[in-house]
Structure 1
C-alpha cells in the first residue's frame, strides 16, 4: 500500500485545484458549442451537451436523405435519460397501434394512442402533426409528445405522418393534413372517439399545419375543432424578426437550418407569398377555435408565435401564449429530462381538457341570400 508523505498530502489539494482550473476552459467551451446563446437553464444545457456529443452535422450541409439519418433531439433525450440511469423514459399510456389512414390519393401512416382512462368512452380525440420542417422526422421521432398529450389530456391521439419535401413539395404536407382531419371527423366513432370533441395539435412545422387545418375546417364548414395547440409554430416567412436575429445560431434550430427546410419544401419564392406559409402576414385568422401557443425562449421562431398571438387577438379570436424561459426549440417532448417540458405538457393538457369540457361551439351562420328588391 502506498503512503503519501505529509508534504505530498499537503500538495494534493493544490494539484486537484490545478486540474480543475485546466478543465474549466474545456467545460466552458463545450457549453458554448452546445448553447451559443448562453441562455439555457442547467437542465436544458445538459441536454444540449448530450446532443452535441452525438455529433450531428449541420443540417444545412446535408441532403435530405442524410439529414433524416442524423441524430435527433429525441436521441439526445434518450442519451441524457440513460446518463441519469432512467432506462424507461416513456410516458405510460393504455396502448397504441399503427394504422394507415384511408385517405385519397394516398393513405397516410398514423399511430393511434389510447389513454389510461376510467371512462369507457367515447373519448376526446387529438389530431397531432409532428415537426421536422416538412422534410425530416416522423411519428417515432415525436413519440414522446404524442404520449404526453394522450396522458395529460386523457384523449385518443392520432399522430399522422405526412408526405415530405423535397420528394413532395408545398403544398403536399398541408393537403395531407387536411385529409387527415377529414378522416378523423369521419372515423372518430370507429376508434371510440367523440367526433364532437376533436382538437388539433402540432409542433414546429406541425404547428403551422395545425393552424392551417383549422382554417381549412372553418372554410369547408367541416365542424370546428374544440381547440388548436401550436407548439413553437412556423408562423411566417420573415427571417429577420427579433428572435431570428437574436437566436440565429441557436441549437438545435438556427436560421441556416430553417432556410434549408424552406428550400427543400417550397418550389420557389412565390410559395412564400402563400398565406399557408405566411400565416402571420397573409392568412385570415378570424373565426378560429381557441388557440394555445407554446414558445421556447431560445428559438428563432419565438417572434412568429408573438405575431400569431397578436393577429389572432386582433381578429377577435381567443388566444393564449406561453413562453418558457431557458429552453430551446424541441423542448416540449423532453419531459424525461426537462422539468419545463413537464410543465408545458401539463399546461397543454389542462387547456385541452377544459376545451373538451366546454359547451360545443355554435355552428357558424350561413350567409343569407336575398332576392333583388328585398
Structure 2
C-alpha cells in the first residue's frame, strides 16, 4: 500500500469496496520504484506511443498542442476492441460562448436524457494551462453528465504562453458565475451547482470554490478534484517516484510551469500552492481522486488532508496501477470506470439533497 494522507474509516471502507486504495499514512519524501501500469493502462500507453506522441518537454507548444492525446489513444483501443461509448453517446451537447475578462470563453453544455431541470456541474479540463481543449476531455464531461444525471458545462480558458497565470483562473470564475446566472436558460437548476476538474482543471475548480465563498455568491454543493495541481514542490515522493512516467513526468510539469507562468516564482502563488493555504474553512465538501503513477499524487493527497484539517468534509481515493489522465478512460481501463462511478455517486448524493 502506498503512503498517503489520513482519511476517515468510512473512506477506507469505501475505497476497499470499490477497487480504490484506501490511504492511511502521510506521504513522505522517500520515493519507491515507479509502479507497473495495469495491462489495460499499458495498452493505452502503447497506443499513444504508436500514434507518435512524444514527451511534452521535448516539444514546442505548437507541437504539443498538435500531437496525439491520451483521448486519441483510447479511441484507437476502443476501435481495435470493438467497444462503443455506451450511454455516454446519448448525451446531447451544444457549444456556447461565455463572456470573459479576456474575451469569449468557449464552453460546451452536456445535457442528459430526461425532463429536468437538472443540477449543474461546471467542469474544467486539464492540460497544464497550456494544452488541450474541450474535445480532448469530451469523454470525462459526457460520463459525468450521464453518471451524475446533471448538466455539465465544460469550460475552456485562456492558456499560456499567450495568456499566462492568472488568466485561466479568471476565466474559470467567469464561467462559474455565468453558469449560475444562466442555468435556467439551459434547463439547469442554479440552486444545485457543483464544480469538477482534472489536473490543472482540478486546481481551477478548487480555486473557484474559494472565490465563490469569498465573493458570497451561490455556493457549489460539492467539488470534485481529480489529480489536481495543488502545490509547487517537485521533490515530493510521487514526483521522485514518477519522474519518468508517461504521459506526465517531472520534466513535463516543469515545461508547463515554464509556459503557463510569466516567471517560475509565480507557481508559489497560493492559487497554485493550495497545500500551503490556511483559509480553507467554509468550503464545500470535496471528493479527491489521485492516481498511483502520477507526479501529482502527493500534492492531491496533501490538499485533501489540508481540507480535512480545515473542517471540510472530504473523501479521497487513490487508484493503483494507473497514470495521470486515466479518469476519462472508463471504456477501456477498469480503474477509470470505478473512479467515474465513485465520483458520480458522490456528485449525485450532493446534488440531490
For normalisation by structure 2, the TM-score amounts to 0.88
- Corresponding residue for 1:133? 128
Check the 8 A contact 1:93/1:150 in 2, yes or no: no
Whole-Å separation in 2 of the counterparts to 1:78 and 1:211: 30
- Corresponding residue for 1:42? 39
Instruction: Give the CA deviation at 1:86.
Output: 2.6
Matches within 5 A, 1:1-374: 37-86=34-83, 91-117=88-114, 120-282=115-277, 284-358=279-353
Task: Give the root-mean-square deviation of aligned CA atoms.
Answer: 1.4
Question: 1:139/1:342 Cα in 2 relative to 1: closer, same or farther (>3 Å)?
Answer: same
How many residues in Structure 1 have an aligned counterpart in Structure 2? 321
Where structure 1 has 5 or more consecutive residues not aligned to the other structure, the ranges are 1-35, 359-374
Local SS of the residue matching 1:272: helix
1:308-353 CA distance string (max 9 Å, x none): 0111111111111000111110001111211111111111111001
- Corresponding residue for 2:15? none
Check the 8 A contact 1:296/1:302 in 2, yes or no: yes
Local SS of the residue matching 2:208: helix
Whole-Å separation in 1 of the counterparts to 2:280 and 2:333: 33
Local SS of the residue matching 1:297: strand
Check the 8 A contact 2:257/2:264 in 1, yes or no: no
Larger RCO (alpha carbons 8 Å, 6+ apart):
2
1:96-154 CA distance string (max 9 Å, x none): 1111113344111110000023xx22110000000000000000000000000000000
1:26-62 CA distance string (max 9 Å, x none): xxxxxxxxxx935211111111111111121221121
- Corresponding residue for 1:14? none
Instruction: Give the CA deviation at 1:66.
Output: 1.1
For normalisation by structure 1, the TM-score amounts to 0.83
Where structure 2 has 5 or more consecutive residues not aligned to the other structure, the ranges are 1-32
Whole-Å separation in 1 of the counterparts to 2:217 and 2:225: 20
Whole-Å separation in 1 of the counterparts to 2:51 and 2:213: 43
Check the 8 A contact 1:287/1:317 in 2, yes or no: yes
Question: 1:91/1:64 Cα in 2 relative to 1: closer, same or farther (>3 Å)?
Answer: same
